[in-house]
Structure 1
Amino acid sequence: MTAGLENTNLFKPITIGKNKINQRIVFAPTTRLRAADDHTPSDLMLQHYSDRAQTPGSLLISEATLISLRAGLYPNIPGIWNDKHVQGWKKITDAVHARGSYMACQLWSAGRVGSPELLKKHGLDLISPSALYESEDSKKAAETAGNPVRALTEEEIKGIIYEDYKNAAINAMEAGFDYVEIHSAHGYMLDQFLQPATNQRTDNYGGSIEKRARIVLEIIDLLSDTIGAEKLAIRLSPWAKFQGMKAEEDTVHPITTFSYVVNELQKRTNNGKQLAYLSIVEPRVNNNIDVNFSDIVGSNDFIKQLWKGAILQTGNYTYDSPEFKGLKADVDGDDRTMIAFSRYFTSNPDLIERLRKGLKLTPYVRPLFYVAHNYGYNTFPSYGKELQFDPETEKERRPVSLI
């Protein structure tokens, strides 16, 4: 046991939107492929989220949740585009609320990195801002599936914004979520629009920074009016090179692109539409992979200078544990910062209390992240407790739809 973090700002309450969050440790979006085959939340997910809401007043963010079929599919990823999905998620948010905690739904569109094979089965195209592949392997997979990537039309973009995102946000509210977080990071659809490496359009949604950012800001404006800005957040990853992003190697520096986006968000705040929080990914990680310290490029300090509201910072805050010097510096540096964890929440359902008391953290097991069974998902106990289970049985236990 080491000294806990109870006397830091990490355990000081913070108001997010209209809700008081009791501590500033957040369960980050953690995709784990445990939804049912039809993308309905499962029994495994219900237990997983409920366990991680055990400290009252916590904030949990759902794993990336697909807004529609055409937005790009992966197997066993939850969706929120139909009534069955809503009913399934409602069981999960009810369980989280029963423990006195709060939950955000992260709305996700995959774009060019969706599964071309799965999309093909639904009679849908692999879509992207521009007809560019993430890699040679992705090109080969798409061609093998007979579903080559193609650029979206402006009419389709409008449909994704004003039909898919609006429907998903309304559904999230009906499902009992307290917030909606827009996933605009890590080389997925909205990030593909933002960055020149993946957006070579010459129409209203490409070219200048203003046009590349148009889709993101249109979604923000629409959903602010639809569900209320105080229930809305967005996630950005300026420095991530995941899935073909170029970051500082691009023709336009990320500080230029993301300063524009954040400045536009702040303008909306100044006009009375304050977002719940802004989530930013630190350059210490590249999606779910740590970046070698010698390879870390960039800083998000420019965002904290532009954005005056609540900030959620994510990205390997356990690298210097148990001292947590980096975490302490960020959370104690102001009175508006929250810190999100994902990997260590997988293996420590009671992570908040462990950090509070300085208890040893159980290591996560990366090979078990993206498998569609219960072993390594709901088989990690809280500190000092034991779970009785047969590993082979749990490896055979597949997700079952909640509805």
Structure 2
Amino acid sequence: MSTNTEARLFSPTTIGAIGVVNRVAMAPLTRSRADMEGVHSELAIEYYRQRATAWLIISEATNISREGRGYAFTPGIYTDEHVASWRRITDAVHEAGGKIVCQLWHVGRMSHVSLQENGAAPVAPSAIQADEQVFLESQTVERPSMPRALETAEIQRLVEDYRNAARRAMEAGFDGVEVHAANCYLLEQFIRDSTNKRTDQYGGPVENRTRLPIEVITAVAEVWGADRVGVRLSPITRAVGDTPLDSDPEGTYFYLAGQLGKLGLAYLHCVEGQTRGDNGAGDFDFKRLHAKFGGKYIANNSYDRQMAIDAAESGHADMVAFGRPFISNPDLVARLRLDAPLAEANRDTFYGGGAGGYTDYLPLADAA
């Protein structure tokens, strides 16, 4: 495979209606730098502007509602204030020549009563408590609270929350949206039979368990047009909430990918393996998943330069999304082109805090 700067990875393409100059995307990265109302500070403007050479930035996961929040200091996209703060960011990215889509997020059971309005229980398809930990306003971490199962009559309200967030993202100047149906958050909690024990039309067979994600994505596409809507899936990750896999991952996700393909979406973005772990392309047939979807495909999860070049050259991926390398390498695309060394990130500053470990990483020329 090619290893030079003329590799397909560095060539232009289109992702739905979005034209991109190269095939390196910035994956969503929660950084917990917003305020407790979900409004970004001035720091976020510089953070995203620095990384605009990704050409396609997928924003950090962004709460569609107060109910959807599961971690302190994460941004929202459901109020006028949210729109105004994101508008400054999208303007900065566009002025720097990049494109940015908003990842729409509802955490479901991965929340805590202290983060919910009036101390309400988090919501989920079924009342099954998650493990792992969530980050609270007190700067401490705790196990997620016991959720309550959503009533059937509440489901359409959820769909409308996504629709409203999609409209707000358009007002904020994004180039599109990505529906977060991965990493064991709300929509994936419906998809997997390990976390969905419902007996109504949203539980049981795969056609029912995928009903809500498809209704949500359809509603969002009605706002944006399908060619500006992407979806993120993670068929074999269990990192968030120690969530068990579906009993038939390939059957479930192949079915879902086929249904999503009928909608004419901009792209399918897939976490290939265990989030925060090694690439797991050998543990699941992601090529078949791509084929079932039939449209543009963004590959993600622990890719290095050569793996990304090979994925683009072989046609496995139309783009490759890098996450953690973008934290400490705002000019990651240039470094990948040149096969230059990558700066190491300080894990202690991943979440929360100020400019340190957020906007103070230097581009290659300045670092040298």
Find the counterpart in structure 2 of residue 376 from structure 1: 357
Deviations 1:348-393 (A, max 9, x none): 0000011111111101222221132221111110002159xxxxxx
User: For the residues of structure 1 that align with 2:36 and 2:133, how far apart are their CA atoms?
Assistant: 25
My pick for the range that moved more, 189-198 or 305-314, is 305-314
- Candidates 85, 90, 93, aligned match of 1:93: 90
User: For the residues of structure 2 that align with 1:145 and 1:116, how far apart are their CA atoms?
Assistant: 11
Q: Match for 2:284: what amino acid?
A: G
Q: Match for 2:293: what amino acid?
A: W
Find the counterpart in structure 2 of residue 278 from structure 1: 268
Q: Which has the larger radius of gyration?
A: 1
User: For the residues of structure 2 that align with 1:161 and 1:16, how far apart are their CA atoms?
Assistant: 25
User: For the residues of structure 1 that align with 2:24 and 2:232, how far apart are their CA atoms?
Assistant: 16
Q: Secondary structure at the match of 2:309?
A: helix
Query: Residues 289-308 of structure 1: matches in 2 within 5 Å?
Result: 289-291=276-278, 297-308=283-294
Residues 234 and 310 (structure 1), Cα distance of their counterparts in 2 relative to 1, 3 Å cut: same
Find the counterpart in structure 2 of residue 60 from structure 1: 57
Q: Match for 2:289: what amino acid?
A: I
My pick for the range that moved more, 39-48 or 191-200, is 39-48
Q: Secondary structure at the match of 1:190?
A: helix
Query: Residues 7-18 of structure 1: matches in 2 within 5 Å?
Result: 7-18=6-17
Cα distance, 1:17 vs structure 2: 2.3
Cα distance, 1:81 vs structure 2: 0.6
Structure 1 residue 354 corresponds to structure 2 residue 344: no
User: Taking structure 1 as the reference length, what is the TM-score of the superposition?
Assistant: 0.84
- Candidates 208, 213, 216, aligned match of 2:213: 216
- In the TM superposition, structure 1's runs of 4+ consecutive aligned residues that sit over 3 Å from their partners are 144-148
User: For the residues of structure 1 that align with 2:75 and 2:45, how far apart are their CA atoms?
Assistant: 12
Residues 47 and 214 (structure 1), Cα distance of their counterparts in 2 relative to 1, 3 Å cut: same
Q: Which has the higher contact order (CA 8 A, sep 6+)?
A: 1
CA RMSD in angstroms, aligned pairs only: 2.3
Q: Match for 1:259: what amino acid?
A: F
Deviations 1:128-187 (A, max 9, x none): 11000112878xxxxx9996321011122210112x101000000000000100000011
The answer to whether the 8 A contact 1:4-1:359 is kept is: no
- Candidates 114, 122, 126, aligned match of 1:126: 122
Find the counterpart in structure 1 of residue 228 from structure 2: 231
Structure 1 residue 35 corresponds to structure 2 residue 25: no
Residues 379 and 155 (structure 1), Cα distance of their counterparts in 2 relative to 1, 3 Å cut: same
User: For the residues of structure 2 that align with 1:328 and 1:377, how far apart are their CA atoms?
Assistant: 27
The answer to whether the 8 A contact 1:5-1:11 is kept is: no
Query: Residues 43-82 of structure 1: matches in 2 within 5 Å?
Result: 43-53=42-52, 55=53, 58-82=55-79
Q: Secondary structure at the match of 1:106?
A: strand
User: For the residues of structure 2 that align with 1:135 and 1:152, how far apart are their CA atoms?
Assistant: 19
Q: Unaligned regions of 5+ residues in structure 1, if any?
A: 139-143, 269-273, 319-323, 388-403
Q: Unaligned regions of 5+ residues in structure 2, if any?
A: 135-141
Find the counterpart in structure 1 of residue 158 from structure 2: 160
Q: Secondary structure at the match of 1:203?
A: coil
Find the counterpart in structure 2 of residue 178 from structure 1: 175
Cα distance, 1:336 vs structure 2: 5.6
User: For the residues of structure 2 that align with 1:71 and 1:344, how far apart are their CA atoms?
Assistant: 27
User: For the residues of structure 1 that align with 2:355 and 2:144, how far apart are their CA atoms?
Assistant: 33
User: For the residues of structure 2 that align with 1:263 and 1:354, how far apart are their CA atoms?
Assistant: 36
Cα distance, 1:335 vs structure 2: 8.1
User: For the residues of structure 2 that align with 1:145 and 1:6, how far apart are their CA atoms?
Assistant: 46
Residues 96 and 267 (structure 1), Cα distance of their counterparts in 2 relative to 1, 3 Å cut: same
User: For the residues of structure 2 that align with 1:32 and 1:379, how far apart are their CA atoms?
Assistant: 14
Q: Secondary structure at the match of 2:109?
A: helix
My pick for the range that moved more, 349-358 or 303-312, is 303-312
User: For the residues of structure 2 that align with 1:137 and 1:349, how far apart are their CA atoms?
Assistant: 29
- Identity within the alignment, %: 37
Find the counterpart in structure 2 of residue 109 from structure 1: 106
Q: Match for 2:16: what amino acid?
A: G
